[in-house]
Amino acid sequence: MKLDIVRQTDLTFIIIVGISFLLLALVSAAMFYFIYKYSRKRNPVATDITGNTSLEILWTAIPLVLVLVMFFFGYTGFKKMRNAPADAMVVKVTGRMWAWSYEYDNGAKSDTLYVPVGKPVKLELNSVDVNHSFYVPAFRVKEDVIPGRKNYMWFEPNEEGKYNVECAEYCGLSHSYMLSLVVALPQERFDSWLANAKPKETSSDSTKVKDTLNIKQDSLKTK
């Protein structure tokens, strides 16, 4: 089953793209019709066209309704995305060049985000260096992660599985490697994972990679 926010985001997208295509078709059809009707061959002397009040009203009213429809879907979806349920589980997310790390309320740390299925999760987003953007395409959520500024997002996975996390804000040399995973587990399996998870730094491998990259970055700076 699709998540509420996923359904609403996709619907909003389809409505806006649908309206755009409809307008493209109408404008193109009118253009070709006028090219035909008012070509020099059929209409050698330019026709003097003056205002048309009912047309003016029509092409003001219809776009107004269309814009209000788009605003309605956009705003109701946005409001849902910005209002995390009060009982959400809070996880602190830290973005750095070039990895994500997660900290749970018992102090456990990981570089994969483990969450229980069927429970809202609120992520508190923070960056220690430059601007990043936390993006989980499967849940249709994306938020800027800015140093010195608190930001948040929430979602509620309703199916067990692995979901990609990407950085959606170009943040330096290895931006494209700034990938991670959301792993949604059944509640009991999540509980036992959390109970066994130790407060530790992200895995030594990724630290090693980061160190090499930092050296490269530093040597670039000195040039």
168 touches Cu ion by CB under 5 A = no
User: Do residues 213 and 176 touch, judged by C-beta distance below 8 A?
Assistant: no
Q: How far is the CB of 96 from Cu ion (least distance, A)?
A: 8
Q: How far is the CB of 155 from Cu ion (least distance, A)?
A: 19
Q: How far is the CB of 9 from Cu ion (least distance, A)?
A: 22
171 touches Cu ion by CB under 5 A = yes
167 touches Cu ion by CB under 5 A = yes
Q: Interface with Cu ion by CB under 5 A: which range of 24-32, 105-113, 160-168, 215-223? A: 160-168
For 26, the 3-state DSSP assignment is helix
Binding mask 44-83 for Cu ion (x = CB under 5 A): ----------------------------------------
Nearer to Cu ion, 37 or 149 (CB): 149
User: Do residues 145 and 130 touch, judged by C-beta distance below 8 A?
Assistant: no
Binding mask 118-157 for Cu ion (x = CB under 5 A): --------------x-------------------------
Residue located via tokens 């170009």: 170
Distance of CA 146 to the CA centre of its chain: 15
Neighbours of 100 (CB within 10 A): 24
Distance of CA 36 to the CA centre of its chain: 44
Nearer to Cu ion, 32 or 177 (CB): 177
Query: How many chain residues bind Cu ion (CB under 5 A)?
Result: 4
Q: Which of 178, 182, 183, 185 binds Cu ion (CB under 5 A)?
A: 178
User: Do residues 172 and 163 touch, judged by C-beta distance below 8 A?
Assistant: no
Q: How far is the CB of 88 from Cu ion (least distance, A)?
A: 24
Q: Interface with Cu ion by CB under 5 A: which range of 71-79, 134-142, 177-185, 215-223? A: 177-185
Cα three-residue angle 112-113-114, rounded to 5 degrees: 110
- Structural element, H or E, at residue 80: helix 53-82
User: Do residues 126 and 92 touch, judged by C-beta distance below 8 A?
Assistant: yes
Nearer to Cu ion, 9 or 127 (CB): 127
Q: How far is the CB of 131 from Cu ion (least distance, A)?
A: 8
Residue 64 phi/psi, 5-degree rounding, is -60, -45
Residue 113 burial (10 A CB sphere; 0-12, 13-18, 19+): buried
Residues near Cu ion, by CB under 5 A: 132, 167, 171, 178
